[in-house]
Every structure is written in C-alpha cells, then in structure tokens.
Structure 1
C-alpha cells in the first residue's frame, strides 16, 4: 500500500467512529453552521498575490515541520500579512491537525479558510461547515467522477467553495464539472511524495478558463509564482515554506512584500 491508500483506509475507520459520537444533527445545530461563507475563488480572482498559506505541523514526507506554534497566532499572522486565504490541515494521524485547529483559526480571522482533509464522505463536509470552513478540498486521486460530482454538489448546496486537486491529465478530465470553483494542480505526487513544479505548467492549458487555477506544493520562491502566473494561475498554496520558520506570519509578510514590490 502506498501512503495515500493507508491514509484513506484510516479515514474510513475514523469516520465510522466519528459518526457514532457526533450525529449529523449535532453538526447542523452548531453555532457556525449557518454562518455566511467567504468565497476563496472570488478572493483569488481579485488578488494580486493569490497566496493560500497553510497551517501544517507535520507530514508523512517531512515528519515534524513545526509543533511549537498555536494556530491562532499563525492565522492572525497570515491575515496581517495580507494573504488571500488559509489552509488548515485537520488530519490527526499523519499531519498532526484537528478540527479544533479550524475552530481556533475561524475565531481569530475573517479571511477564507480551507479545510485541508482527505474527504470521502458528505459527513466531512458538514463537519467543515460546522467548524467554520469556507472552502473544502476534494482530491481526484482518491475519488471517482461520480463521487466528485456528489461531494462537490453537496458542498455547494451548503455554501462551501470547492477546490478540486489533480495531479495528471486523467484526473483533470474526470473532474471538470460546474460544481467545482477552483482547479488545483498538486505538484506533489501523493503516491510517492515527489515534487515537480512543471506539473502545473504542463496541465495549465488543459484547465478551462471558467475555473480559478491554483498551483499547490513545492512553491518556495517569488520567482516560481511569477513564472506560474504566466500560465494563468491565480492561486498558490504554500505549506512548509512559512511553517518551517519560527514566525510563519512574518515569513508570509516578507514573501508578499517581495512579490508585490518586484
């Protein structure tokens, strides 16, 4: 089994338990469930930087990235840096995140929040909404076309933006549908964890113009972003680059300054 298969197998088990403990009715009654969401897609369309900065403590490829920071400080730092949105990892076993991270981020900032998770079930979309997310991630590598359709349509029905992530042309072709707002190209192969930023360049022309194009993973320089903008990308998901510093907000602010100055 590759790492992605392991994560999904664990996610199925986790969901069985979660549904026993927190029924759907409880999620729907939460204080944040009816909060109006902020569209990340709209933010990216009008942004001159397009940065989506991540809160990530660890990952299967890097083990520990940063365990010392609290999510509120990271979120506030990012918002003050002027980024377009924040991605919050909520997987516990492999990434050290939790839904509480999403709640604390939501309590701290006004910008769009993406729940970064391995989504395989509508229940996780209700969880996302109940914990203050504005956007959810769907990963084409773990879903078939019918699942993408069902999950994206359900997400839209409860007011969430949908970022769909692909890694190759086959995944892209099965994912093009009106219920998707943003198409993200992951430069990291989730099966091997190898990173190649050319993946975004190769797929750029094949993404229809109706979707906001997002490039994800392996972006660590202002030059990379300028380069990718030439290919029509409006969003740039940056994970480890800021999180591996002592002050992610400050690192993000410095990055944004460089990007807007040049």
Structure 2
C-alpha cells in the first residue's frame, strides 16, 4: 500500500465520523477574502502560498510546537499571497481548529490543505474560514473530481487542483480547473524533484485563462527562479519556511520576478 493509499484509507474513516456529527454552522457571516486567482494573475512577481505545516509522513515532525496564529501573522506580514493550513490530523498533525484560528487572525486568502474526498470536508473548510480548497487528482476518480469541484465553486470557494503527471493534467483541464498546481512530490513514494514542474509546464495551456503553480520541494531562491522560469505564477512552500529563523527574509527571497518580467 502506498503512502497516498494509507492516507485515503484513514480519510474515509474520518469522513464517516464527520457525517455522523450533526453540526450546522452558518457561513454567511464569514469575512470576504481577496481572490487568490486575481492576486496571482495581476502580480509581476512569483507569489508565495505559505504553509502552516507541523509534520509530514516523509519528514516526520517539522515544527510541532509552532503556534499557527503566530506563524500565519508572520506569513501575512512578510507578504504571502495566501496562507495554506494543513487540516489533516493523523499524518500532518493539523486540524480544522488551526484553520479557524488562522482565519480569525489574517485577511489573506486561506487554503484548506487536506485530502478532500467528500462534500462534508468542503463544508467544514468553509465553516472554518477557508476561501480556497485543494483537490488532488490522484486521490479522486473523474466523476468525484468533477462533483467536488462543482460543489466548491458553487459554495463560493476557489479551487486549487493538484496534479503530478501529464495524464492528471489532462484530467484537471477536463473539469476546467483555473488554478493547477504541480506537486513536485510523488504522493505514492513522497520523493521530490522540482524538475516535475519544468516537465509539466510543457503540457500546460499558458495561452488560456489559467494559472500554473509549483508545489513542494521549494527550498531557496534558486528553486523559486526555476519555478518562475517554467511559467509558475506562485509556489506553495511549507517546510523551508517552517524551519526558517527569519520567515520574512526567507519568504521575500522567494518572490522573484515572473518569467518574462525584468528585474
């Protein structure tokens, strides 16, 4: 069984538990956040989606004692375009409570980072304050991917659709995904190679109204420049920022010019 299969097996049990909980929370009073799509489309620099990440299956504990609110405020102050909060508890030591706490503290777009397989998770993400959700193509069949994408957009959420290879890119384009993220980490083995972004850029329709994002394995300005040169509008960065002694310096070093934009 791959790491992804283990995660999804646990996630199906979590969904059953969520469905057993009768919980109705109004989403109407949530503050409106800026559109991540518009921020990325209008920016002349590579933007950073900064992640609150305590742990991962591949790295183990990264920063277990970090206060998510303090980390999110540091990200916002440093100029993050969006803050990603991991809400998976078993493998990444996150929670919807983390997401809700961060939502109250910052005004940036907010991404709920999880392995979403059911509408109830989207409801919980929105209730906790997310304005963007992640859908992972490798975790979903075509019908479920389309259904969850439609459900989220109808709820007023933006969707980042994650792919890892050309076939998954085609599946993301088939549901008309507007923001497509290439995960440089293979979710089956958790091996990382930033060359994945460069390879997937060959399959991305840059002439259409869509955005290309590079996820995982971005450690320094050199990696950021590679992603920008491949055509990325943003990078999703967790581990290197969580470990940094200066979030502001580290984040700003990643905000390099987009491809074709002079220094």
TM-score by shorter chain over 0.5: yes
Structure 1 segment 24-173 matched on structure 2, within 5 A: 26-27=24-25, 29-30=26-27, 32=29, 34-47=30-43, 48-173=45-170
| Deviation (angstroms), 1:247 | 5.1
List runs of 5+ in structure 1 lacking aligned partners. Answer: none
**Are positions 1:221 and 2:220 aligned together?**
yes
**In structure 2, distance between residues paired with 1:14 and 1:214:** 29
List 4+ stretches of structure 1 deviating above 4 A: none
Does the CA-based 8 Å contact 2:49-2:80 persist in structure 1? yes
Does the CA-based 8 Å contact 2:213-2:232 persist in structure 1? yes
Does the CA-based 8 Å contact 1:162-1:179 persist in structure 2? no
| Deviation (angstroms), 1:14 | 0.8
Aligned to 2:243: 244
**In structure 1, distance between residues paired with 2:165 and 2:254:** 29
Q: Name the Cα RMSD after superposition.
A: 1.9
- Aligned to 1:176, the other structure's residue is in SS state helix
Does the CA-based 8 Å contact 1:81-1:256 persist in structure 2? no
**In structure 1, distance between residues paired with 2:4 and 2:148:** 19
Aligned to 2:211: 212
**Are positions 1:192 and 2:174 aligned together?**
no
Q: Deviations over 1:141-188 (max 9, x none)?
A: 111121111111111101111100000111111121455220000000
| Deviation (angstroms), 1:35 | 3.9
List runs of 5+ in structure 2 lacking aligned partners. Answer: none
- Aligned to 2:161, the other structure's residue is in SS state strand
Change (3 A) 1:43 1:22: farther
Give the aligned length: 256
**In structure 2, distance between residues paired with 1:82 and 1:35:** 20
TM-score w.r.t. length of structure 2: 0.91
